[in-house]
Structure 1
Amino acid sequence: MEQAITEKKPSKFKIRMNKVLTYLSKPQNLVLLILGVVLSITTIGPIISIVADTVMVHTGSIDSTNTGLLSGFTLYNWADLFTGRLSQANLLLPLKNTLLLAVFTCIGAVLYGGIFAYLVTRTNMKFKKLLSSIFIFPYIMPQWTLAVVWKNLFYSSAVTGGSNGLLVALTGIQMPLWWCKGLFPSATVLAIHYAPFAYILIGGIFRNMDANLEEAATILNTPKRRIFFRVTLPMVMPAVLSTVLLVFSSAMGSFPVPYYLTYTTLATKYVEMSVARAGEASILAVIMMVFGIAILSLNIAATSGRKNYTTVTGKSGQISRVNLGRHGKYVTAIIFLVLTLFTSIYPIISFATETFLPNPGDYSFLTKGNWSSLTLKWWTTSTNTDSSLFGQCGILHNTTIWNAYFGILFVAVCCSLLAGTIGTLVGYACSKNRHSKWANYVNSMAFLPYLLPALSVGVAFYVFGSNIGIYNTYLLLIIAGTVKYIPFASRSALNSMLQLSGEIEEAAVIQNIPWHKRMFKIIIPIQKSSIISGYMLPFMSTLRELTLFMLLCSQTKILTTLLDYFDEMGLYAFSSGINLILIVTILICNAVVNKLTGASINKGIGGN
């Protein structure tokens, strides 16, 4: 008699476990899962902390004084900020100023960078290589560089108080107050700082634009002006929109520029209110975050629904260039040469000069011809007995400065290694799972910190770090810098990984080559240039970062925050020396990387 053998069906739990194990057996899925959890904690965690801080009672702050509470939660901060007697000064005016600053910065950056991109890529303007190389300097240099240069150049004792700047000393011309302080100089400086964004994004479109579209319009006797506005301009609109979205968010969170040029924004108001009205200050940071998240939503909507412009006949190999004329190509080049030298080379000369003046900011020696008054004391004083140095040694002998210098180098190297590695893994995993909702979520989490104003991110990590006991440590600076700059590496890696054919790695999988060898022997060498850029951008950005770090540590811990310390002491020669050290360090690092790897921010746009 035959016995029926009945096979036992696997349980639903085992089926699910097998699916999970199969999913995790692919390295890109495991990487995606781990990074999704890590990025959610490091991005959403600080945001939750700062939102919670808006309803907490702060001992010694106005919410504790007026409610009589020493701990717990209250809505007093929200009510007072929006409806209190100081709502106009603490919220409405800074918000209006911030939006105006962001809007005018976007307009200036797009016009300046876009016009320059058009001239470099679509005309016969001379000296393109030189101009393209130095045009990007303002973005590489610290954000506050041009703000300080603006003060040293245009301030005067009659209009702004203090000593006369270079313009008054040389010509006697005194610029009006609106030119020296407020919205106009702040927007101008930020527009110059972010114009390389527009140049890179718009210039790339101009460089690779299909000339068939314009040629077809020309054959139909369409006027050149109509061709530009109806054909050329719509083609670059996606790049213009991307520039506006990125610059708007960055300008909203800018602290150094409006601080130096005396313009009240949400960022400067936060610093002013952070002690006496801590909860209300956190609300200001939340408002800036809301704008960042709204910008991310707009970016997603714009990129998913924008129009595509294509041609039936294929891509033309020619680029139609505009002839500026025999003299126009030189005149245009000279105009931009003057502008770029002023915004790129002059700041270095200015800061160097400041460190030799007996009274920094005072250029009266030029009119008196008293060149012998220049001094080396700010650099070479080896003791702390000179009263004019307020008990400090000269820059070359000042241990506080050099400890802070090596501190910022340490933070920059760690942020670079962590952000570059995580960003590369995010780009790899998301490119392998490009149609996955989880991959899209991880990609958004990696990119979100870039669209959040730097001050908001700094405030979030200040609250987060204080709650877990790591305030004023290198660890907190490294975590904040890594999260903030992962977008640089992730976007660079994602774009490069999407260019790789899947067959390349599949061939290695068939040969049973382990995942780590596939990464180090195949994928990374192929996309070496993009991956190195993903490491270098966080490094150089960290070296010049102030807004993100100024709340996270003491003023003497790293070099960028040490600037405020010396400014408060009145040692402006020291802060100018620090600016000079930072600029030279960043430019040297950028030049070394370009020399060793061939990577250059302006390559392929038309500067070579």
Structure 2
Amino acid sequence: MHGQADRRSEAMRSASEGTRRRAFTGLWVAALLAILTFLVIYPVFMLLLGALTDTNPVVDGIRLSLSHLSIANFLAVLANPNVAEALLNTLIACGGGTVIAVAIGLLFSWIVVRTNTPFKGFIAAASILPLFAPPLVAGVAWAILGSPKTGLINTMFKWMGSDLRVDLYSMWGLVFVFGIYYAPYVYMFTSSALRNMDPSLEEAAEISGASPIATLFTVTFPLIMPAIVSGMLLSFIVMLGIYGIPAVLGAPTNLNVLTTYIFKLTNWSPPLYNTAAAVAIILMVVTGLLVYLQQKLLSGRSYTTVAGKAFRPRSLDLGPWRWLTFAIGIVYLLIVVVLPSLALIVAAFRKFMFIRDVASLFDMRQYSLTHFESIFDNPLTMRSIYNAVEVGVITAVVGGALAFAIGYTIHRTRVSGRGAIDLISTLPVAIPGLVVGVAYLWAWIGVPGGLYGTIWILALAFIARFMPDTVKALSTSFLQIHRELEEAAWVCGKGMLGTVRTIVLPLARPGVLASMTLLFVLAIRELGSSLFLYTSNTMVMSVLLLDYYEGGNIGKTAAFSLVQTVLLGVLIGGANWLSRGSAQGNVARTG
């Protein structure tokens, strides 16, 4: 009798525990879906509603009458020759930039991974340095270098007696800067694929009589085609949403792309918010189609290059030609990092940008700290720095915690609803930053006592904007943790939250810190999402930098660009130091 009673009691406890666990997981999934709806679905829905109505969000807010719904805005936009011109310019600039980015990224990944080029670590580091430069800073630096009248490059050509002239205020200038600055995206994808590719496939081709160059184009590159396509489309998608570079290099010649045209629509008097929403939807649809195309191209074919047998990537002996590949790396570093940095330094410390000749360029009497004193005399400077750091911290902490919860739910559980969580958290991949800003403008500008005009609307927009990047950065950490560690904790009586706190979080801490660092850096340098959401009290560094540039003072612009770049460098260095210390601590605890 006692045995039956004990078994009955144990069964009741198990049933009760199962009911509680199901209730908890149901609430957990519901909470995540509610947060994602708040961050992603609601703003996009309001953006679409704004494009389909003729009401003014400033006056009417979210109280949009369904009787006003129509496709008139889309018809007007599609019939507008300015929109067609901006779309064509966008496709040409991003397409040309992508071609250059793929060529540079593939070349450097091959040099670093598959050749015996000296100082490959140095070249690898140089290949990703452009990722840390905010696009607006890059645009300003190249404007100083390539201005047709006062550019430093043209000054040097004139000094050398050459008739050559460079004009980066043009389509080819936009293509060039896009290409060299977004090549690292292709490099990161393709270098990883080359490291993981079995060299026996190339050896078999060479045994069959193929030359190294033929092997490269018939075996190596086709087998890493998923990485090439992913890097290519990611570069194109990122370029689609960039505002800073086209705003600097395209504005002097009225060269509009979709992002700059959307911003102009909201700056007209009265602002054309409905038209801007319609153009933003078109930009989002184009981006979404490219993301879908990426998935479609990579499905249905086998690109398996990693087998169970261990291997080491082979290095091709280039002989004396290895110094040529090393020289190519040095030239890239000079063009992408050294020249723009020197241009910013010259413009920031020089009293006046008029440079009569090369001798005047090296006249130390023309240099001072005037521009730095001027920007720090402006109370907006320190406020923008404080706001940027505050937004970065909020974005990193809140966004990191949310990404951890989403990543854990997707990769470490089998709860129903995780597919919907995965889908919604990935949606912002197809939404350019500028469109996120327009969507949040529509969602909150008319809500009394709402988020608009606060630091939080910027932070929430950044969290939504960079959610896919953060979740992806964390996914590797989750996949590296063996499930038996969690099962052991469950056997010892730990619940899900206890297991996460004592097992998963300590082991995934390096990945969590890395993702939070990524969020912090992206938030500090983000411009597109900020353009529509800031006020005089919430202005951040990227917006103030654009304000300095549009004010026509290149000296102040360059000085503030250096301040932003140095601040980013210090913050990235500090975050890496903290992350390294955490990783070493984890190794000590698990060893």
Instruction: Give the TM-score range, shorter chain.
Output: 0.7 to 0.9
Shift of 1:423: 0.9
Contact 1:447/1:487 (CA < 8 Å) preserved in 2? Answer: yes
CA distance in 2, matches of 1:39, 1:527: 23
- The residue that corresponds to 1:408 in the other structure is 388
Residue 94 of structure 2 aligns to which amino acid in structure 1?
Answer: A
Contact 2:196/2:306 (CA < 8 Å) preserved in 1? Answer: no
- The within-5 A match list for 1:216-235 is 216-235=204-223
Say which is worse superposed, 562-571 or 531-540, in terms of deviation.
562-571
Aligned partner (choices 268, 289, 306) of residue 294 of structure 1: 289
Contact 2:73/2:275 (CA < 8 Å) preserved in 1? Answer: yes
Distance 1:100-1:31 versus aligned 2 partners, 3 A rule = farther
Structure 1 gaps of 5+ residues are 1-15, 62-68, 158-163, 381-393, 601-608
- Residue-pair matches, total: 547
SS at match of 1:330: helix
Aligned partner (choices 256, 260, 263) of residue 264 of structure 1: 256
- The residue that corresponds to 2:568 in the other structure is 586
Contact 1:97/1:265 (CA < 8 Å) preserved in 2? Answer: yes
- The residue that corresponds to 2:585 in the other structure is none
CA distance in 2, matches of 1:311, 1:531: 28
Shift of 1:113: 1.1
Aligned partner (choices 34, 41, 51) of residue 37 of structure 1: 34
1:524 to 2:505 alignment: yes
1:17-43 superposed Cα distances (whole Å, 9 cap, x missing partner): 9987543345xx653332122112321
1:149 to 2:141 alignment: yes
Aligned partner (choices 534, 548, 552) of residue 529 of structure 2: 548
Aligned partner (choices 391, 412, 420) of residue 400 of structure 2: 420
CA distance in 1, matches of 2:494, 2:238: 43
1:346 to 2:327 alignment: no
Aligned partner (choices 316, 337, 342) of residue 322 of structure 1: 316
Shift of 1:176: 5.2
1:322-380 superposed Cα distances (whole Å, 9 cap, x missing partner): 12212x212221221122133123333322221221223x3336344643122222223
Shift of 1:60: 12
Shift of 1:229: 2.3
Contact 1:146/1:343 (CA < 8 Å) preserved in 2? Answer: no
- The residue that corresponds to 1:12 in the other structure is none
SS at match of 2:445: helix
Higher helix proportion? 2
Distance 1:111-1:315 versus aligned 2 partners, 3 A rule = farther
Aligned partner (choices 425, 433, 453) of residue 446 of structure 1: 425
Shift of 1:153: 1.1
Shift of 1:538: 0.8
Aligned partner (choices 92, 117, 120) of residue 100 of structure 1: 92
Residue 309 of structure 2 aligns to which amino acid in structure 1?
Answer: K
Distance 1:466-1:117 versus aligned 2 partners, 3 A rule = same
Distance 1:475-1:350 versus aligned 2 partners, 3 A rule = same
Aligned partner (choices 442, 455, 459) of residue 438 of structure 2: 459
1:82 to 2:103 alignment: no
- The within-5 A match list for 1:75-224 is 75-83=71-79, 87-89=80-82, 91-157=83-149, 164-172=150-158, 173=162, 179-224=167-212
SS at match of 1:136: helix
Distance 1:525-1:166 versus aligned 2 partners, 3 A rule = same
Contact 1:529/1:599 (CA < 8 Å) preserved in 2? Answer: no
Distance 1:187-1:171 versus aligned 2 partners, 3 A rule = closer
Shift of 1:437: 6.9
Contact 1:98/1:265 (CA < 8 Å) preserved in 2? Answer: yes
1:483-511 superposed Cα distances (whole Å, 9 cap, x missing partner): 11122221122232123221110100111
- The residue that corresponds to 1:24 in the other structure is 23
CA distance in 1, matches of 2:293, 2:111: 30
CA distance in 1, matches of 2:53, 2:144: 43
Contact 2:74/2:278 (CA < 8 Å) preserved in 1? Answer: yes
1:11-66 superposed Cα distances (whole Å, 9 cap, x missing partner): xxxxx99987543345xx653332122112321111111111113224699xxxxx
Aligned partner (choices 355, 375, 398) of residue 368 of structure 2: 375
Contact 1:246/1:451 (CA < 8 Å) preserved in 2? Answer: no
Residue 450 of structure 1 aligns to which amino acid in structure 2?
Answer: V
Residue 48 of structure 2 aligns to which amino acid in structure 1?
Answer: V
CA distance in 1, matches of 2:177, 2:27: 45
CA distance in 2, matches of 1:18, 1:596: 40
Distance 1:538-1:427 versus aligned 2 partners, 3 A rule = same
Say which is worse superposed, 109-118 or 273-282, in terms of deviation.
273-282
Contact 1:124/1:321 (CA < 8 Å) preserved in 2? Answer: yes
SS at match of 1:527: helix
- The residue that corresponds to 1:65 in the other structure is none
Structure 1 length as normaliser, TM-score?
0.84
- The within-5 A match list for 1:268-279 is 268-274=260-266, 275=268, 276-279=271-274
SS at match of 2:480: coil
Residue 329 of structure 1 aligns to which amino acid in structure 2?
Answer: R
| Root mean square deviation of aligned Cα | 2.7
Contact 2:197/2:305 (CA < 8 Å) preserved in 1? Answer: no
Distance 1:226-1:457 versus aligned 2 partners, 3 A rule = same
Aligned partner (choices 327, 331, 355) of residue 334 of structure 1: 327
1:508-549 superposed Cα distances (whole Å, 9 cap, x missing partner): 011112433422332122222222111111100111111110
CA distance in 2, matches of 1:488, 1:60: 31
Aligned partner (choices 456, 470, 494) of residue 513 of structure 1: 494
Residue 139 of structure 2 aligns to which amino acid in structure 1?
Answer: A
Contact 2:186/2:235 (CA < 8 Å) preserved in 1? Answer: no
Structure 2 length as normaliser, TM-score?
0.86
- The residue that corresponds to 2:466 in the other structure is 485
Contact 1:102/1:248 (CA < 8 Å) preserved in 2? Answer: yes
Distance 1:42-1:174 versus aligned 2 partners, 3 A rule = farther
Shift of 1:255: 1.1
CA distance in 2, matches of 1:501, 1:120: 32
SS at match of 1:552: coil
CA distance in 2, matches of 1:514, 1:365: 73
- The residue that corresponds to 1:359 in the other structure is 352
Contact 2:57/2:446 (CA < 8 Å) preserved in 1? Answer: no
Contact 1:293/1:452 (CA < 8 Å) preserved in 2? Answer: yes
Residue 202 of structure 1 aligns to which amino acid in structure 2?
Answer: T
Distance 1:217-1:569 versus aligned 2 partners, 3 A rule = closer
Residue 583 of structure 1 aligns to which amino acid in structure 2?
Answer: T
1:123-149 superposed Cα distances (whole Å, 9 cap, x missing partner): 011121222223212111101222222
Say which is worse superposed, 523-532 or 111-120, in terms of deviation.
523-532
1:378-415 superposed Cα distances (whole Å, 9 cap, x missing partner): 223xxxxxxxxxxxxx2344321011101000001100
Say which is worse superposed, 200-209 or 517-526, in terms of deviation.
517-526
Distance 1:23-1:566 versus aligned 2 partners, 3 A rule = same
Aligned partner (choices 574, 597, 608) of residue 579 of structure 2: 597
Shift of 1:108: 1.6
Contact 2:157/2:164 (CA < 8 Å) preserved in 1? Answer: no
Structure 2 gaps of 5+ residues are 1-14, 59-64, 583-591
Distance 1:58-1:359 versus aligned 2 partners, 3 A rule = farther
Matched residues, percent identical? 24
Shift of 1:417: 0.8
